[in-house]
């Protein structure tokens, strides 16, 4: 079985994200920004190099690896602070930097605004759903734990859908104002120009560009489980629920229909509690706002015993 080197390595709003959603860097004085810029530029350079190393170790395609390394090289020689560019021109300003496309621009913006790059955390096995939920205004650790435990929500896209369809309102502590605050916050973070309303046709299927067909995701799930069973995949040592730091979690990078996917067994508290860590497969589309799904074996209903997909999918034409 291949193993990743002892590691240390997504994305968010798309290019239609409006020029400047206020970032944390906008609260800095000019002097503070100048002082902070060089370390931040160097930090993102290191993050991109680490991403390339992990993708290479995990068997991903060469084009993505080269893209991260080219971006890191560009940042190495860059004198203008990334935080200033983002503050002044938003996502479009970052995309205008040579070698920085939409995905890398989103990674920079994510790191500036929220302090971490979720996609990189994922590659390192350091994804805690509660921590992701806590990045939304008005949601603290206690509420995040309730949302995850009661609704099984693990992504911001699922949280948005729950806020619109009424499920979030059943959680103690979520009155109408707080639910609306979540909707407004996610509208900005997920690249909305205006918050969606229940009457908008788009809200039923959250804003995931080019939704894949269910069969496409089931095929990713099949490839992951078969290759994991044969010991063909690189394994990582997840940072959660792994006191011995064992590399037990297989990770897959694959492509379907031009979409880049990452798949791995669920390592959430809920999966451990229910004994489903070798059944639930979390599938991520690695594009900005690409979406997240979970493939599971149905235990009830007409599909009992079959693999099913939790999450929004495209309908066959």
Verdict on whether the full-model pTM lies above 0.85: no
Residues 10-51 pLDDT 10s? 333 333 343 333 344 444 444 344 334 468 999 999 999 998
List the structure tokens of 44.
């993102």
Residues 231-259 pLDDT 10s? 999 998 887 788 888 889 999 999 998 88
pLDDT computed for residue 108 by the predictor = 93
Query: Does the pLDDT at position 161 exceed 60?
Result: yes
pLDDT computed for residue 22 by the predictor = 39
Most confident residue range from 113-117, 158-162, 173-177, 182-186: 173-177
pLDDT computed for residue 145 by the predictor = 84
pLDDT computed for residue 208 by the predictor = 42
Q: Output the average pLDDT for the chain.
A: 79
| Separation of CA 284 from chain center | 7
Mean pLDDT score, 216-228: 97
Strand blocks (E) in 120-239: 235-236
Q: In this predicted model, which residue has the larger pLDDT, 73 or 207?
A: 73
Lowest mean pLDDT, pick from 15-19, 51-55, 99-103, 117-121: 15-19
pLDDT computed for residue 8 by the predictor = 36
Query: Does the pLDDT at position 263 exceed 70?
Result: yes
Looking at domain 129-189, which of 1.10.3720.10, 1.20.210.10, 1.10.150.20, 2.60.40.350 is its CATH number?
Answer: 1.10.150.20
- Choose among 96, 309, 125, 71: nearest CA to 208: 309
Report the percentage of the chain scoring pLDDT > 90.
Answer: 32
Residues 135-156 pLDDT 10s? 788 888 889 888 887 887 777 7
Cite the residue boundaries of each domain of the chain with CATH code 1.10.150.110.
24-115
Residues 6+ apart with CB under 8 A from 54: 4, 7, 9, 120, 123, 124
Task: Classify residue 229 by burial, with Cβ atoms within 10 Å: 0-12, 13-18, 19+.
Answer: exposed
Query: Does the pLDDT at position 128 exceed 90?
Result: no
pLDDT computed for residue 191 by the predictor = 54
Distance CA 129, CA 131 (A): 5
Distance CA 222, CA 137 (A): 37
Query: Does the pLDDT at position 184 exceed 50?
Result: yes
Distance CA 65, CA 54 (A): 9
Lowest mean pLDDT, pick from 76-85, 116-125, 215-224: 116-125
Q: Look up the CATH superfamily of 24-115.
A: DNA polymerase beta, N-terminal domain-like (1.10.150.110)
Cite the residue boundaries of each domain of the chain with CATH code 1.10.150.20.
129-189
Query: Does the pLDDT at position 196 exceed 60?
Result: no
- Choose among 310, 263, 267, 270: nearest CA to 158: 310
């Amino acid at each position: 079985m291949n193993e990743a080197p002892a590691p240390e390595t997504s994305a968010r709003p798309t290019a239609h994200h409006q020029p400047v959603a206020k970032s944390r860097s906008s609260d800095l004085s000019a002097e503070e920004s100048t002082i902070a810029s060089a370390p931040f530029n160097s930090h993102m350079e290191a993050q991109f190099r680490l991403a390339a190393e992990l993708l290479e170790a995990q068997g991903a395609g060469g084009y993505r690896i080269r893209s991260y390394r080219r971006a890191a090289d560009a940042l190495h020689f860059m004198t203008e602070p990334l935080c200033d560019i983002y503050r002044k021109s938003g996502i479009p300003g970052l995309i205008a930097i040579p070698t920085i496309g939409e995905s890398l621009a989103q990674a920079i913006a994510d790191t500036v605004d929220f302090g971490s790059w979720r996609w990189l955390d994922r590659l390192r096995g350091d994804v805690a759903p509660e921590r992701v939920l806590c990045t939304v205004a008005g949601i603290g650790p206690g509420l995040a734990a309730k949302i995850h435990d009661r609704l099984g929500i693990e992504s911001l896209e699922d949280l948005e859908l729950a806020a619109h369809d009424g499920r979030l309102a059943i959680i103690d502590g979520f009155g109408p104002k707080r639910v609306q605050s979540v909707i407004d916050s996610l509208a900005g973070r997920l690249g909305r120009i205006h918050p969606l309303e229940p009457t908008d046709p788009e809200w039923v299927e959250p804003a995931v560009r080019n939704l894949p067909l269910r069969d496409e995701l089931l095929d990713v799930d099949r490839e992951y489980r078969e290759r994991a069973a044969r010991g063909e995949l690189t394994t990582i040592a997840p940072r959660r629920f792994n006191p011995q730091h064992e590399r037990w979690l297989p990770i897959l990078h694959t492509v379907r229909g031009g979409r880049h996917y990452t798949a791995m067994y669920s390592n959430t508290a809920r999966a451990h509690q229910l004994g489903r860590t070798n059944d639930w497969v979390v599938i991520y589309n690695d594009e900005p706002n690409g979406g997240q799904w979970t493939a599971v074996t149905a235990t009830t209903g007409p599909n009992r015993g079959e693999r099913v997909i939790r999450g929004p999918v495209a309908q066959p034409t």
